[in-house]
Amino acid sequence: MSPLLKDRAVVVTGAGRGLGAAYAKAAASEGALVVVNDVDARQAQDVASGLPSAVADSSDISTWAGAQSVIDRCLETFGRIDGLVNNAGIVRVSWPEEASPEDLKAVVDVNLLGTAYCGVLALKAMSANGGGAIVNVTSGAQFGMPAVAGYAATKAGITALTYSWAAAYERTNVRVNAVSPDAMTPLAQTLAQEFPEVQAGTHSPESNAPAVVFLLSDLAREVNGEVVFTGGNRLALMQRPRIGRGVKTEGEWTPAAVAELFATNQPGNS
C-alpha cells in the first residue's frame, strides 16, 4: 500500500516538541515532505534532522511576514504546499483578574493570529495549486478553563476560523478541519504545575497524530469543517454550536419576565 501522504508537502508549525513534533513525524512516516517550523531553531532542526525528507524553519508565525516566510519556505523547497498543520501555540497561566495586557496580546498573536496568517496564506497557495488540506489545532479549553481564559478564547476563535474557512472553500479541492488533542505536553505540564486542580492532558502526543494524518490524506476527501477530539483510545466529533429552542412571550420581554423564565425553565433548553 502506498504511503498516505507520499510526496505531499506539509508545513507543521510549533513542531519542535510535543504535539507538533508528533504530527511532523507521523506525516513523514507516511511519505510527506515536511517543513518543521518552530521559533526555537535548535528544536526545529533536531526534529527535521530525524526525518527522511524535511527542512527546519524558525519563522515567527505570530507576524504576517513570519507566516509568509514559512509558507514560502515550503513553496521554494518542495515546489508547492499540500498540507498545513496549524499547531503553534503558547499559554499564559493566571486567574482572569491577574492577566496582563502583554500576556494576553502574546497569546492572541501566536495562537489566533498566527493560525489565521498561516491559514490565509496557505489557502491562497493551495487554491492556486489545485487543492490541499488544512488542520487547525484547537482545544477543549474553548469550553471554559478558569486559569487560561485568554488561551481558551483563542482556541474558540480557531474553531470559528475552521468553520468559516471550510464553508468558504466547500465547493473546491481545499478542505479545512481541526483537531482538539488531549496530550501531556510541555504546555499541559505548565498548566498542571500552576493549577493542580485543573485537569491537563493525560495522553501521549503520538496518540493524537493518526487523526491529523487522516485529515491531511485523501482518506478524508469528503471531510470538511469537522473538529475531531483525540487522545489515547478516544475519538469524538464536536457538534457545532447552535441556538437552542426559543421561548416566546405574548407581549414584550421585561427584565422581570426574563427572571421568571430563568427561575422556572431556562430558554434554549430542549
Q: What is the DSSP letter of 240?
A: P
Catalytic residue among 117, 151, 163, 169: 151
Q: How many CB atoms lie within 10 A of CB 6?
A: 11
With H, G, I as helix, E, B as strand and everything else as coil, classify residue 3: coil
State the Cα–Cα distance between residues 130 and 143, nearest whole angstrom: 35
Between vectors from CA 89 to CA 114 and to CA 233, what angle results, nearest 5°?
Answer: 125
Q: How many CB atoms lie within 10 A of CB 232?
A: 13
Q: In what order do the strands lie in the sheet with 9-12?
A: 54-57, 33-37, 9-12, 83-86, 132-137, 174-181, 227-231, 234-237
Q: How many CB atoms lie within 10 A of CB 267?
A: 13
State the Cα–Cα distance between residues 9 and 65, nearest whole angstrom: 21
151 is catalytic: yes
Phi, psi torsion values for 81, nearest 5 degrees: -135, 120
Cα-to-chain-centroid distance, residue 213: 14
State the Cα–Cα distance between residues 175 and 133, nearest whole angstrom: 5
Residue 263 CB-half CA count within 13 A: 6
State the Cα–Cα distance between residues 141 and 196, nearest whole angstrom: 15
Which residues form the catalytic set?
151
